[in-house]
Structure 1
Amino acid sequence: MKLVERYIAREILLPFMVVILILVGLFASFSSARLLAGAVTETLGIAALLKLVFLKTLIALEVLIPIALYISVIIGLGRLNKDQELNVMRSFGVSGTRIVLTVLTVAIPVGIVSGMLSSYVRPWAYAESYILDAQAEAELNTNRFQAGRFHGSERTGRIVYVRSKNDTDKQMQHIFHYIKKPDGSEIVIAKQARQIQPSEPEQRPHIRLFDGMVYQLTSTASIDDVIQFKAMTYFIDSDYVLNYRRKAAATRTLWESDQPRDIAELQWRISRPVSTILLALIAATFIRSTPRQDKTDRTYLIAALVFAAYYNFTGLAKSWVEQGVVGSIPGVWWLYLLMLAALGIYALLRQRQFPRPR
């Protein structure tokens, strides 16, 4: 790489490192605050909370890295343009094509890293985070209950109340349990309960309830059901952990599937390098190499609007594949083909406006 290319690459990489650190720090702080607000430490502890934040940050890197590169290209080339260095380079024969190729020498390795994270690191991080999330969201895990307090979950619409509890023998007294269902709701009231630990690895954890009532309230039937029991076994829902998780599935598994949602997830993963590179090229188009055209505020505003539109369109493209609106071909690739075509048209127009000096 020649001196000019190294200089331009450095002007992009330095802000890239700063921006990615800022974005990672902000995301980790936001995730920590959200988990702390959800009282996750009461269930998992500080060590598990830090691990969960780390996993969620790894998952977010596939989005944070392209954003950081997009911003750094605008910042780096924008500074060169503002100080008239791009015009000086152009005056001694450095063409716009050469500048774009330099941007590509930075964007391609970053895109490969983003693709590796999306295809291999992200599924592993999702699998690990689902396990921790399940532990934090285990509504019927009596270890997290405190006597005299209501425990609820917005995700499932479940509310549990225990008047008193003995942590030594896992005994609870005067239990109230409410769960919202699609066709109604269910209320369970019991005088005593005890959590039964599984004796075998494949056995589902469950709770034994004694001397209580079950009220099954439905919106479709004219008469609600009331069941009185002396003893009842209530199995803890572990589907949150055991259910097939598409985002945590191995890339090879998705490759062998013909389900639209699996295809959408696979194409999302393998499109990350292409997306990263195209975003870097789009960022380069916001920089003018002609004198007296530096309008930084307007450039940043347009760049933000373009990225917002791009982000929404990528989500739309993936949703169309998931819903079967678009088949596996063209899949999500139609968006990137349109972006590439737009960049090609822009390059031709720029070449006609500023022909290469002979």
Structure 2
Amino acid sequence: MNVIERYVVGGACRLMFAMVGFLIFIFTCYCAQRYLTEAANGTLALDVVLDVVFYKVLIALEMLLPVGLYVAVGVTLGQLYTDSEITAISAAGASPLCLYKAVMYQAVPLSILVMLLSVYGRPWAYAQIYALEQQSQSELDVRHLQAKKFNVNDNGRMIMAERINPTTNHLTEALIYTSAGGKSSIFRAHSIDIIDPSPLTPTVALHTGTSYTLSHEGTDDNEQIYRNLQLHLNPLTPRIEIRRKAKSAEMLTQSSDPADHAELQWRESRGITALLMALLAIPLSRVKPRQGRFATLLPLTLMFVAIFYGGNVCRTLVANGAIPLIPGVWSVPVLMLAGLLLLAARDFSWRQKFSR
């Protein structure tokens, strides 16, 4: 690595670390606020919030790291163009290749890291999040239930109580709503004791109350008055999208579902997309002298929007079977590579000098 390459790498790395750190901080604050709200509403146990936020940040790194390098390269090179340093570098006999080599020193290791995070870290983190939410929302841990509030989980189960005693697992003047098998059930009880709080077999004992079962088709409604009733509640049913995100690459490969193949292609393409984004930032960073180091942000932003939404649209179309698996989600990296070759050809053209 020569002096010019070290100079470019140093400037881009410093800016990238600052940007990624700031983005992680903002994303962490957003996740913490979101899951603390769920904990306050009784849909998530407070003691798992920190773990869920950590896994969410780990998942987000596959996007935050490429974005940080992409913007850092564009802004750093934009500053060199603005200060006419690129002109001086060109006058010293350097070719455009030195810029691409400098960016490659950063982009290749980062793209490998992003690929590993996407293929292995992302499904592992989603599996951990699902396990925590499954345990928190399925088990009847009254410590995260709020009195005089509708405590709802993702399975549609709702519990409300006038008073809650977390020491004895006892609820007073309580209401439970469940829905399964085409029927909705409402249980109103003077008091409720938690018999089994486990996620797999949550069970409660209801004392002195009334139950109502309402058929969704309106053909089998009934009312029951009881003194003592033991109720087995349904465990949380995992959503199909969370289940897919938590699948390993091997499971996705063996699946015949187009949505699973779209998820697999999305994970596998993250590394090469991160590399191509960093390289695309080189020609997009070109500005006129004294135009301002942030003049490159508009083309950089437009390109990122096209890449981000293009990838999501392709993944959705592949999952729906609207476009074939080949090229599938790889359509976006192929278009990025074609655009990079065209822009790089302009840099290396005999008619286009290193700066203008």
CA 118–323 in structure 1, closer or farther in 2 if over 3 Å, else same: same
What is the Cα deviation at residue 241 of structure 1? 9.4
The 1-side partners of 2:241 and 2:169 are apart by 28
The 2-side partners of 1:145 and 1:332 are apart by 43
**Matching residue of 2:99:** 99
- Which one is further off, 58-67 or 278-287? 278-287
Gaps of 5+ in 1: none
- The letter for the 2-side match of 1:178 is Y
SS at match of 2:160: strand
**Matching residue of 1:176:** 175
**Matching residue of 1:271:** 269
Q: How does 1:26-37 map to 2 (within 5 A)?
A: 26-37=26-37
1:336 aligned onto 2:325: no
Q: How does 1:1-358 map to 2 (within 5 A)?
A: 1-39=1-39, 44-45=45-46, 48-138=48-138, 140-146=140-146, 148-153=147-152, 155-179=154-178, 185-197=184-196, 204-217=201-214, 220-221=217-218, 224-229=221-226, 230-240=228-238, 245-288=243-286, 292=289, 294=291, 296-350=293-347, 351=349, 353-354=351-352
Indicate if the aligned counterparts of 1:159 and 1:179 stay in contact, CA closer than 8 A: yes
- Which one is further off, 58-67 or 125-134? 125-134
TM superposition score normalised by structure 2: 0.86
The 2-side partners of 1:221 and 1:153 are apart by 24
SS at match of 1:39: helix
Indicate if the aligned counterparts of 1:28 and 1:57 stay in contact, CA closer than 8 A: yes
What is the Cα deviation at residue 134 of structure 1? 2.9
SS at match of 1:69: helix
SS at match of 2:244: coil
SS at match of 1:149: coil
Give the aligned CA root-mean-square deviation in angstroms.
3.1
What is the Cα deviation at residue 210 of structure 1? 3.8
CA 261–84 in structure 1, closer or farther in 2 if over 3 Å, else same: same
The 2-side partners of 1:72 and 1:150 are apart by 47
- The letter for the 2-side match of 1:159 is M
**Sequence identity percentage:** 30
Indicate if the aligned counterparts of 2:207 and 2:229 stay in contact, CA closer than 8 A: yes
Indicate if the aligned counterparts of 2:4 and 2:98 stay in contact, CA closer than 8 A: no
What is the Cα deviation at residue 129 of structure 1? 1.7
TM superposition score normalised by structure 1: 0.86
Aligned length: 352
The 2-side partners of 1:352 and 1:210 are apart by 88
What is the Cα deviation at residue 266 of structure 1? 1.2
The 2-side partners of 1:312 and 1:18 are apart by 25
- The letter for the 2-side match of 1:25 is F
CA 298–84 in structure 1, closer or farther in 2 if over 3 Å, else same: closer
SS at match of 1:19: helix
The 1-side partners of 2:155 and 2:236 are apart by 13
SS at match of 1:264: helix
What is the Cα deviation at residue 16 of structure 1? 0.9
What is the Cα deviation at residue 283 of structure 1? 1.3
Gaps of 5+ in 2: none
The 2-side partners of 1:347 and 1:166 are apart by 68
Structure number with the bigger relative contact order (C-alpha 8 A, sep ≥ 6) is 2
SS at match of 2:63: helix
What is the Cα deviation at residue 68 of structure 1? 0.5
SS at match of 1:193: strand
CA 177–197 in structure 1, closer or farther in 2 if over 3 Å, else same: closer
- The letter for the 2-side match of 1:111 is S
- Which one is further off, 259-268 or 133-142? 133-142
